Structure 1
Amino acid sequence: MYSRKNVGPSKDNNIRSDAEVQDGYTVQQQEQYTKYLRKLKNDFEETWCKKKKYTFDFKEFDRVKTLGTGAFGRVVLLKHLKSYKLYAMKVLEKEKIVKMKQVEHTLYEKRILEAIRFPFTVYMELSFKDNSYVYFIMPFVPGGEMFTHLRRLGKFEEPLAKFYASQVILALEYLHFCNLVYRDLKPENILIDKNGFLKITDFGFCKLLQGRTWTLCGTPEYLAPELILSKGYGFSVDWWSFGVLLFEMNAGYPPFYANEPMKTYEKIVAGKYRCPSGFNSDLRDLIRNILQVDITHRYGVMKNGVMDYKNHRWFKGLEWESILNCRTQPPYVPKYRGPDDTTNFERYEDEPMKTSPICLYESEFFDF
């Protein structure tokens, strides 16, 4: 498998329509769904404006094992000693965050994880800090990363790729409706829950967007041309990344890659790629309309918005409302032997956390 390095609604809120979604998504259905998105956006904005305070006692939890590692820290599985409930705790080292100039991104990630609530995104239960670290505590998603399953299978069969793609589209639609640009879509940042549905995670590059932004961030193979060229960009970069993800799910490798990042960037800016022979005409057409260097012709940011996706031939027969409410039977469900099963995650060495006797970088994390 190709490898790379980094640079829901409740029952009461189920979206239903008299028409069955078989061959597309009607304007009326989208209007109804938009009302629901407005409610979610209002909820997001109300939470965004509140400063939350949490209480946390490590003595009430057992540190089970490390689930993953990254540039700034690690993710650890926690078990509550009384309720036996499991959590994923993201531990970020203050010193590394400051040295890598990621303080603003970390503070943004905290606020975003507190405020978002959608079936296909993770969220934060609570957060806290000590002298050396900041901590995000989130629900444990036991199915592991999409990347792990994609590497094991080589590529996804088309029904599974279509099932996953629909959830990513809905998640991006929600984030963009809340004025959030995600900027780091890739299989490593998508988790699979015990029932087979997706959860987008790692909001370290996510940003509340007003107008355009210019920051270069993300993973080389997934960067959009306008981001590489420092033209200033908006939500269009997420849809480009979705096109790369769609290609990789169906092919097993991304459309643009080379041994060096600069050569990868050259291929992206040129917009040249070759689809495998196994791609059918509908999939080729969908990818062609997403991987458009000219954003005025890119699906997701054109006049019809996400309706270009929901009514595309490749998604014919998909019931979007059933996907949204997690009523569709997933084509694949990860093996899950019990609440604390971590076999879907890679094995990592556990390292002790050494807390400084003095508070480090107090001013930088004053607002955390």
Structure 2
Amino acid sequence: MASAVVHKILHHNHSNRESSPQQNHSSPAPQEDQELPTMERAYEEEKIKLAQWEDLKRPLSPGQIAVDANKKLVENSSCVLRQQDFELIKTLGTGTFARVWLVRLANPKDGDQNKVFALKILRKVDVIRLKQVEHVRNERNVLAAVAGHPFITTMVASFQDTDSLYMLLDYCPGGEVFSYLRRARRFNEPTSQFYAAEIVLILEFLHEKEGVAYRDLKPENILIDAEGHLKLVDFGFAKKVDNRETYTLCGTPEYLAPEVIRNTGHGCAVDWWAFGILVYEFLVGQPPFWDQNPMKIYEQIVEGRVRYPSAMTPDARDLISGLCTVDTSKRLGNIKGGAGAVKSHPWFRNIDWDALYHRKVQGPIVPHLRGPADTRNFDEYEPEPEGREKYSSEMRERWDECFRDF
């Protein structure tokens, strides 16, 4: 297995870094000569695996995702991959400390020219300056743990170099659900039910199998893949909480749960509140709590009074009111039955959950694509600014240990 070889290389490289300068300038030991072909072999195996992974991928059952974590073709931390192994095609998105590129394999073999990925590049300097080290580590480790879920972006590999961290992800050419929602103004009920049901399956898995709170559910973080199914992306705020409470203020104002605003401690229940807001936005076209002043939004959320349009069906109202309940002990999804209570709600009566999980149900929106590298569903972005701060030796000495998971 390539992973075993990579582990051996990683250990070898670590030993080299700890050797003295005098040793480094001496003649190579016979053992080092023997390792070189091993490194080359690991590098070739890694590239072959990247070219093959999409052909071999399939949805794993929730149990298999955890049990077969070491046998999966993806989610490994690679010490042999480099940015130069990929051709950067176009920026797909930017954030305060990250940029996501559409990439293809550099110098691909015959038949691999159209195999593309999304490469998330995070500059270490920015991650440290913006105090995002823990969030970035959480994102990488959560994505590794959940690789194989049919509706969560797949982290194919992670790696790093002197200045940056990299996460290689599957590419979703359909773009953001947010864009489709704005064009349509609102989704009809069957479309809303389909997307909402796939999100229920995501939250059920994250909460009940992994103990992870996602904490940033919103249309901008949900992409549509080539077959019309959802993929949840951007796990920067995701955190393994299990049954503990956490206090970090994070998320998007319109989607924050009351307990986050009050800073009374929160857990996975925040995702069910946000899910209620999301269903409302699907059906109405805008979230229930909104104001130009974020403080006014927070006041509305803490009050928790949702106003429903007269055209909304009683089942939809009942579902949203159960989810957007200020008291977490009474919130649907967080009460007895967990996600099962959400799945059995009358609004989802027509959903075949097993068929949906195995992607046997046709998505309501299947993107029209010219090919695997089609980017028409993504906006244009400014190029990266030049002359940015370098990752200094002092930073490296202090922070490199924090990035060892990459």
What range is the shorter-chain TM-score in? 0.7 to 0.9
Change (3 A) 1:282 1:59: same
Q: Does 1:231 align with 2:264?
A: yes
Higher mean displacement: 189-198 or 351-360: 351-360
Conservation of the 8 A alpha-carbon contact between 2:124 and 2:391: no
Conservation of the 8 A alpha-carbon contact between 1:181 and 1:208: yes
Which residue of 2 is the match for residue 65 of structure 1?
90
Separation in 2, partners of 1:330, 1:12: 17
Deviations 1:67-122 (A, max 9, x none): 11111121111111302211111111222221221111111111112221210101
Which residue of 2 is the match for residue 27 of structure 1?
none
Change (3 A) 1:354 1:336: farther
The correspondence of residues 125-204 of structure 1 with structure 2, limited to 5 A, is 125-176=156-207, 177-204=209-236
The correspondence of residues 207-286 of structure 1 with structure 2, limited to 5 A, is 207-210=239-242, 211-286=244-319
SS at match of 1:89: strand
| Paired residue type of 2:144 | E
SS at match of 2:158: strand
Separation in 1, partners of 2:194, 2:240: 28
Structure 1 length as normaliser, TM-score?
0.85
Deviations 1:240-296 (A, max 9, x none): 010011111111100111111111111000001211222111101111111000111
SS at match of 2:77: coil
Deviation at 1:346, TM superposition (A): 1.1
Deviation at 1:335, TM superposition (A): 1.8
Conservation of the 8 A alpha-carbon contact between 1:155 and 1:252: yes
Deviations 1:11-35 (A, max 9, x none): 9988xxxxxxxxxxxxxxxxxxxxx
Percent sequence identity over aligned pairs: 42
Change (3 A) 1:238 1:44: farther
Superposition RMSD in Å: 2.4
Which residue of 1 is the match for residue 45 of structure 2?
none
Change (3 A) 1:73 1:12: closer
Separation in 1, partners of 2:58, 2:382: 44
Separation in 1, partners of 2:222, 2:339: 20
Change (3 A) 1:323 1:95: same
Deviation at 1:167, TM superposition (A): 0.4
Deviations 1:184-213 (A, max 9, x none): 000111110011000000000001114111
SS at match of 1:361: helix
Deviation at 1:133, TM superposition (A): 1.9
Conservation of the 8 A alpha-carbon contact between 2:213 and 2:238: yes
Deviations 1:303-342 (A, max 9, x none): 1211222111111121111110000011211221211100
Separation in 2, partners of 1:250, 1:365: 46
SS at match of 1:134: strand
Deviation at 1:351, TM superposition (A): 2.6
Q: Does 1:37 align with 2:62?
A: yes
Deviation at 1:54, TM superposition (A): 3.2
| Paired residue type of 1:174 | F
Deviation at 1:132, TM superposition (A): 2.4
The one of 339, 347, 364 equivalent to 2:399 is 364
Separation in 2, partners of 1:236, 1:357: 38
The structure carrying a bigger helix percent of its residues is: 2
The one of 97, 112, 123 equivalent to 2:154 is 123
The one of 97, 105, 123 equivalent to 1:93 is 123
Structure 2 length as normaliser, TM-score?
0.78
Change (3 A) 1:366 1:342: same
| Paired residue type of 1:86 | V
| Paired residue type of 1:87 | F
Change (3 A) 1:347 1:174: same
| Paired residue type of 1:342 | T
Change (3 A) 1:276 1:359: farther
Change (3 A) 1:219 1:269: same
Give unmatched runs, 5+ long, in structure 2.
Answer: 1-53
